[in-house]
């Protein structure tokens, strides 16, 4: 099946007109509507894997602190990560920061306006490029995200795994045929907004959908049979344990994670993953040995938080701990940075998990 066989230019034009009309009446207010190319870029990066309602306060704080690409580029990554802490998927912030430096140094602070140039920037793939070029620069570039996959799969009755190579080619081909020369940014946003507000995963509201008369799935007994998503990976539960090591001044030891990899550049109490049969107390003791080379006495449990990363659900326990020997000789693994922090300053650090203690609790 080809996009041409599924969609004539006239039908594409009619659909675009219906969608744009619907969008004009139903779009939600969002702080990045009408933003600069830099603002659109920041919003699109934040919205990856993250709900609109979660992103809005982070976006507003981030744009207030880093209103221009130059402001972002000239700020150390540690400071940038503080404004990202809580949004998750921190590689996005590191890529955005690196890309802002490239835009500042190599493009005079102007976000590139061609797919060839913009897609060379870290963290900008085909979707983000399509979003920035169409929304910020008014270029008729397509985009396909999870909402668009769902709407187009239902609209055209596409079967099979939407992530398969053949279906991806088909979806991008259809999106390309549909995006109009006039108002391409509004059109792309209307497709995504329709997926978010009307063509939802579990309860599509076909009766109030502007594409109902054209839609294959809308006329099936159950439109949610499309798209055909393969059963996902099972969630894995992990137990982590952290040692809250205090010095004689009452300060806690924090370690910075390596810049590359999971939670790159964030700070944390020395922590490890519990192995099979190992208690969290034993693991907290091991955390001292393995991360900073410090034998520990482990005391009471003072915290338990749950958080998630990709398909892992993590329960993190925190134990007060003190060094066995009075002389503190720390040997952090792989030269990781460390810092002794008073309890009331811990929340100012960009942490890899919700804080286990704070100035109020200690």
Task: Give catalytic status of residue 44 as yes or no.
Answer: yes
Active-site hit among 13, 25, 44, 116: 44
Among 199, 255, 316, 321, binds ligand SF4 (CB under 6 A): 199
Compute CA 305 distance to the chain's CA centroid, rounded to the nearest angstrom.
21
Token pair 């659109």 is found at 40
Nearest C-alpha neighbor of 351 from the set 275, 292, 268, 239 = 268
Identity of the residue, 44 or 193, whose beta carbon is nearer to ligand SF4 in the bound complex: 193
Helix axes 91-106, 37-47, angle to 10 degrees: 160
Q: What is the DSSP string of 122-149?
A: TT--HHHHHHIIIIIT--------HHHH
Among 96, 133, 179, 217, binds ligand SF4 (CB under 6 A): 217
- The answer to whether the Cα torsion of 123, 127, 130, 136 is positive or negative is negative
Where does this chain touch ligand SF4 (CB under 6 A) — which range of 20-28, 205-213, 238-246, 331-339?
A: 205-213
Among 123, 173, 204, 280, binds ligand SF4 (CB under 6 A): 204
Where does this chain touch ligand SF4 (CB under 6 A) — which range of 212-220, 263-271, 294-302, 309-317?
A: 212-220
Nearest C-alpha neighbor of 99 from the set 110, 88, 89 = 110
Nearest C-alpha neighbor of 288 from the set 256, 333, 326 = 333
Where does this chain touch ligand SF4 (CB under 6 A) — which range of 113-121, 204-212, 242-250, 297-305?
A: 204-212
C-beta of residue 358 within 8 angstroms of C-beta of residue 344: yes
- How would you class 56 by CB atoms within 10 Å of its CB: exposed for 0-12, middle for 13-18, buried for 19 or more? middle
Start-to-end Cα distance in the chain: 64
Where does this chain touch ligand SF4 (CB under 6 A) — which range of 118-126, 159-167, 199-207, 290-298?
A: 199-207
- Cα angle for residues 194, 23, 2 (degrees, 5° grid): 55
Q: How far is the CB of 4 from ligand SF4 (least distance, A)?
A: 21
Identity of the residue, 10 or 202, whose beta carbon is nearer to ligand SF4 in the bound complex: 202
Q: How far is the CB of 272 from ligand SF4 (least distance, A)?
A: 46
Q: How far is the CB of 154 from ligand SF4 (least distance, A)?
A: 4
Q: How far is the CB of 286 from ligand SF4 (least distance, A)?
A: 52
Q: CA-to-CA distance for 349 and 338, rounded, in angstroms?
A: 12
Q: How far is the CB of 168 from ligand SF4 (least distance, A)?
A: 19
Among 223, 227, 280, 318, binds ligand SF4 (CB under 6 A): 223
Q: How far is the CB of 333 from ligand SF4 (least distance, A)?
A: 51
Identity of the residue, 154 or 271, whose beta carbon is nearer to ligand SF4 in the bound complex: 154
Here the tokens at position 129 are: 């490029």
Among 89, 127, 137, 212, binds ligand SF4 (CB under 6 A): 212
Total residues in contact with ligand SF4, by rule CB under 6 A: 15
Q: How far is the CB of 200 from ligand SF4 (least distance, A)?
A: 8
Identity of the residue, 220 or 305, whose beta carbon is nearer to ligand SF4 in the bound complex: 220
User: Going residue by residue from 115 to 154, which x/- string records binding to ligand SF4, judged by CB under 6 A?
Assistant: ------------------------------------x--x
Q: CA-to-CA distance for 265 and 257, rounded, in angstroms?
A: 5
User: Going residue by residue from 154 to 173, which x/- string records binding to ligand SF4, judged by CB under 6 A?
Assistant: xx------------------
Identity of the residue, 77 or 198, whose beta carbon is nearer to ligand SF4 in the bound complex: 198
C-beta of residue 284 within 8 angstroms of C-beta of residue 208: no
- The total number of residues written for the chain in this structure: 362
CA distance readout (Å), 69 to 66, 95, 99, 310, 312:
7, 13, 9, 29, 34
Positions marked active-site: 44
Residues in touch with ligand SF4 (CB under 6 A): 151, 154-155, 198-199, 204-206, 209, 211-212, 215, 217-218, 223
């Amino acid at each position: 099946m080809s996009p041409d066989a599924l969609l004539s230019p006239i039908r594409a034009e009619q659909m675009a007109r219906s969608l744009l009309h619907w969008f004009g009446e139903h779009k939600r207010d969002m702080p990045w509507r009408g933003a600069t190319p830099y603002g659109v870029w920041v919003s699109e990066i934040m919205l990856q894997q993250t709900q609109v309602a979660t992103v809005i306060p982070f976006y507003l704080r981030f744009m207030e602190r880093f209103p221009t690409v130059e402001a972002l580029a000239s700020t150390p990554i540690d400071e940038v990560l503080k404004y990202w802490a809580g949004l998750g998927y921190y590689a996005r912030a590191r890529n955005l920061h690196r890309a802002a430096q490239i835009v500042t140094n190599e493009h005079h602070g102007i976000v590139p306006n061609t797919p060839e140039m913009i897609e060379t920037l870290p963290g900008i793939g085909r979707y983000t490029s399509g979003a920035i070029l169409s929304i910020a620069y008014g270029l008729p570039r397509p985009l396909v995200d999870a909402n668009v996959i769902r709407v187009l799969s239902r609209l055209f009755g596409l079967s099979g795994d939407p992530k398969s190579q053949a279906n991806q080619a088909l979806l991008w081909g259809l999106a390309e045929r549909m995006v109009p020369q006039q108002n391409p940014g509004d059109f792309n946003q209307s497709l995504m907004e329709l997926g978010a507000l009307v063509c939802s995963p579990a309860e599509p509201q076909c009766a109030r959908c502007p594409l109902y008369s054209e839609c294959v799935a809308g006329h099936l007994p159950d439109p949610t049979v499309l798209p055909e998503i393969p059963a996902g990976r099972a969630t894995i539960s992990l137990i982590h344990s952290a040692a809250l090591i205090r010095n004689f001044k009452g300060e806690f030891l924090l370690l910075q994670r390596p810049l590359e990899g999971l939670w790159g550049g964030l700070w944390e109490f020395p922590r490890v993953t519990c192995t099979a049969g190992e208690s969290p107390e034993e693991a907290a003791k091991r955390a001292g040995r393995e991360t900073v080379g410090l034998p520990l006495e482990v005391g009471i449990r003072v915290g338990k938080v749950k958080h998630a990363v990709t398909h892992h659900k993590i329960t993190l326990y925190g134990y007060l701990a003190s060094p066995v020997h009075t002389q503190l000789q720390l040997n952090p693994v792989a030269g990781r940075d460390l810092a002794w922090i008073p309890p009331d300053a811990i929340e100012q650090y960009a942490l890899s998990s919700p804080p286990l203690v704070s100035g109020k609790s200690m």
